[in-house]
Amino acid sequence: MVVPGQDNQPSTSNNDRFLVLKLSEDDPLFQKKIKLLRDKGFGQADLVRFDDTLVPDSVNANLDALLQRARIIHLNETELYFGVGVMNMNLEEEVYSPRNELEALNFILSRLDRCREKSVEENVSLKAVRDAIITRIYSFGDTYKMETNIIKDTCDSEKHLMEWAETHGLKSKLNIAYIEGAGRGVLAAEDLEVGDIALEIPISVIISEDLVYKSDMIPVLEKIEGISAETMLLLWSMRERHNVDSKYKIYFDTLPEQFNTGLSFGLDAMVALDETLALDEIFQAKEHLRSEYDELFPALFDKFPDLFSRELYTWEQYLWACELFYSNSMKIMFPDGKLKTCLIPVAGFLNHSVCPHILHYGKVDTVTNTLKFPLSRPCSRGEQCYLSYGNLPSSHLLTFYGFLPQEMNPFDIIPLDIEAAPECTSEEGHLDSTTHMVRGTWLSTNQGIFNYGLPSPLLEHLRHVGKPDLQTMTLFQENLENEIKVLDELRVIFENMMDKLGDSEMDDWNNIKWDVQLAVRYKDLQRNIVSSILTACHSGRKMVERELEKCLDEDKLG
């Protein structure tokens, strides 16, 4: 938050302002984040002063200090595990991820804007910092711009949907189009700045569980023991899709006959995914859905044949509806404080990016009763406007959405089944329960000895297992010999993984089905990650061997 200058604070002007970025004690990662803040010389809630005497260099220094704190405050578990790495080669500073950088910059910006709204007179330095943040957001976003190749403009069904939504109060600065490599997406109809509302959708257009509770299905659905609101909405949607008098018929008419997610993969695609995380994810998801379907049907056919017809509620129709909700639904907080799974016409055309234009869109504005989609970075006219589906690995995006990101995905991880050793305890005395993982080493800038582009928590764990009392990160013989063992252990793990993945055998790329293409691309991504780990182990071992040789030579001379 920002507060005016006070008598007990250092001040040179009555127009001083102090910005405090505080880490909430309710943060589930509080202990890890507070330790990281302290390691960098920060506290839980440090105060940074802005006064009119600050020169440009001081403004930038203050912004850098704020940004370092804001990044840590907004870390998620994966980003915290891997630490910093260059996600944008055009920036001089290391960042944790595109998502984290945008969150941090917009977090500071929102605090500054609150201060300016409350200020009687303008603070020159505060304005300078705000301008600097906007400049950084522009610079950061520009390096993530992707070329938009339009195949064709909207068809009649999408035009009718927009017209229908506008009659119910929708406000949009976006146009729907068919985009190469992305299917349908939305383009900025004009130049949009940070904070602009790209899309505003009234509650009356949103499909939520409230519609089920107003329908003739609810007396029956409420009798089903353990049924969730999401399942009730899914069953309602399966029938409503075929209701010619439905208020939402225009929306359902825009939906595809097949969603082409991983849940619709054929046998050849599943074979191509052998030994990958995505294969396990698809199998588990389909088994779960089949189990849910079997619990509902044929029991509902027999008990309520007028409500549940066998033609509308087949397994294929059920799977289609599940794919609809997996790939198009959003979790929305309503004015009553309840979080609901919803289908949101028009908004469903927004595609995902690891560096999205829209970060926050999950809460209904209680004043306007609308769902707003504000921009966290600018979007130029004609550019595709992206939002974030979440911090998701490509295996999840493949399984439930049916695509792989074009950009490098910092959340493409491979979890490792490594148990904590009995000696591995936290500062509080509990067993270390960290889930260890790896990702492509190209995402790390720290390729030197004792790092190699690999995650520090994993390396520290393996070092501790081998030599619990050994001091690491020093060029002593015992440390270096243990380091070789650590790298050899990792190399064996990932050589076995690479052997199971096999070689890429795709020659006639243009003549294979969509699902096999996606499967092959995903498996190649897994191979690239594993290959980068093996390269790191190989080059790292050479570094350690050279240092060990120097160490032994010095001992001989001594």
Asked whether residue 329 carries a pLDDT value surpassing 50, the answer given is yes
- Cα–Cα dist 432/142, whole Å: 41
Q: Would residue 103 count as lying in a domain?
A: yes
Q: What pLDDT sits at residue 426? A: 46
- Cα–Cα dist 237/230, whole Å: 10
Q: Which residue has the higher pLDDT, 64 or 214?
A: 214
Provide the number of structural domains found in the chain: 3
Average pLDDT over residues 381-390: 94
- DSSP assignments along 497-543, one per residue: HHHHH-------GGGS-HHHHHHHHHHHHHHHHHHHHHHHHHHHHHH
Maximum Cα–Cα distance for the chain, whole Å? Answer: 93
- Cα–Cα dist 350/355, whole Å: 13
- Cα–Cα dist 335/377, whole Å: 27
pLDDT digits (tens, 9 = 90+) for 224-279: 888 999 999 999 999 999 999 999 999 999 999 999 999 999 999 999 999 999 99
Q: Would residue 409 count as lying in a domain?
A: no
Identify the sign of the CA torsion 464, 469, 473, 476: negative
Give the Å distances, CA to CA, from 314 to 38, 261, 262: 57, 19, 19
Average pLDDT over residues 152-170: 90
Angular region, 369: left φ>0, alpha ψ -120 to 50, beta rest: left
Closest to 144 measured CA to CA, from 388, 327, 444: 388
> Which of residues 401, 431, 465 is at a domain's end?
401
Q: How confident is the model at residue 17 (pLDDT cuts 50, 70, 90)?
A: low
Give the Å distances, CA to CA, from 242 to 82, 264, 344, 510: 48, 22, 18, 36
pLDDT digits (tens, 9 = 90+) for 503-522: 876 666 677 899 999 999 99
Q: What pLDDT sits at residue 509? A: 65
376 and 464 together in one domain: no
CATH number at residue 322: 3.90.1410.10
Q: How confident is the model at residue 1 (pLDDT cuts 50, 70, 90)?
A: very low
Q: Give the 3-state secondary structure of residue 390.
A: coil
Q: What pLDDT sits at residue 399? A: 97
360 and 288 together in one domain: yes
Q: Which residue has the higher pLDDT, 344 or 554?
A: 344
- Cα–Cα dist 299/225, whole Å: 13
Q: What pLDDT sits at residue 4? A: 38
66 and 197 together in one domain: no
Distance of CA 125 to the CA centre of its chain: 34
Q: Can you state the percent helix, strand and coil of the chain, rounding each to 5?
A: 45, 15, 40
Per-residue DSSP letter, 454 = S
77 and 162 together in one domain: no
Q: What pLDDT sits at residue 89? A: 44
Average pLDDT over residues 512-540: 95
Q: Which residue has the higher pLDDT, 480 or 19?
A: 480
Q: Would residue 69 count as lying in a domain?
A: yes
pLDDT digits (tens, 9 = 90+) for 97-128: 999 999 999 999 998 888 766 665 566 777 88
Measured torsion, CA atoms of residues 162, 166, 167, 170, in degrees rounded to the nearest 10:
130
CB neighbours of 222 closer than 8 A, spacing ≥ 6? none
Closest to 217 measured CA to CA, from 235, 229, 231: 235
- Cα–Cα dist 414/437, whole Å: 5
CB 102 within 8 A of CB 387: no
pLDDT digits (tens, 9 = 90+) for 306-316: 999 999 999 99
Q: Would residue 406 count as lying in a domain?
A: no
CATH number at residue 138: 3.90.1420
Per-residue DSSP letter, 443 = G
Q: What pLDDT sits at residue 335? A: 93
CB 205 within 8 A of CB 161: no
254 and 171 together in one domain: yes
- Cα–Cα dist 14/17, whole Å: 9
> Which of residues 401, 436, 469 is at a domain's end?
401
Q: What percent of the chain has pLDDT over 70?
A: 88
pLDDT digits (tens, 9 = 90+) for 490-500: 999 999 999 99
115 and 190 together in one domain: no
Average pLDDT for the chain: 88
Asked whether residue 207 carries a pLDDT value surpassing 50, the answer given is yes
Q: Would residue 91 count as lying in a domain?
A: yes
Closest to 382 measured CA to CA, from 94, 179, 520: 179
> Which of residues 121, 142, 163 is at a domain's end?
142
Average pLDDT over residues 339-351: 96
Give the Å distances, CA to CA, from 89 to 98, 139, 140, 318: 12, 12, 10, 45
Angular region, 439: left φ>0, alpha ψ -120 to 50, beta rest: beta
- Cα–Cα dist 414/393, whole Å: 9
Closest to 322 measured CA to CA, from 345, 339, 351, 343: 343
CB 331 within 8 A of CB 206: no
394 and 482 together in one domain: no
| Domain containing residue 135 | 2-142
161 and 268 together in one domain: yes
Q: What pLDDT sits at residue 93? A: 66
CB neighbours of 34 closer than 8 A, spacing ≥ 6? 23, 44
b/e map of 134-164 (b: 16 or more CB within 10 Å)?
A: bebbeebbeebeeebeeeeebeeebebbbeb
Q: Would residue 106 count as lying in a domain?
A: yes
Per-residue DSSP letter, 268 = H
Q: Which long-range contacts (CB under 8 A, 24 or more apart) does 225-231 make?
A: 229/340, 229/341, 230/325, 230/341, 231/292, 231/296
Measured torsion, CA atoms of residues 70, 76, 80, 81, in degrees rounded to the nearest 10:
-170
Q: What is the 3-state secondary structure (H, E, C) of 412-429?
A: CCEECCCCCCCCCECCCC
- Cα–Cα dist 535/494, whole Å: 10
456 and 324 together in one domain: no
Q: What pLDDT sits at residue 551? A: 86
372 and 244 together in one domain: yes
253 and 168 together in one domain: yes
Residue 424 — φ and ψ, nearest 5°?
-80, 105
249 and 329 together in one domain: yes
Q: Which residue has the higher pLDDT, 473 or 143?
A: 143
Q: What percent of the chain has pLDDT over 90?
A: 69
Q: What pLDDT sits at residue 451? A: 94
Q: What pLDDT sits at residue 9? A: 39
Q: Would residue 297 count as lying in a domain?
A: yes
Q: Would residue 407 count as lying in a domain?
A: no
Measured torsion, CA atoms of residues 40, 45, 50, 51, in degrees rounded to the nearest 10:
-120
CB 515 within 8 A of CB 264: yes
Whether the full predicted model's pTM is greater than 0.95, yes or no, is: no
Q: What pLDDT sits at residue 86? A: 55
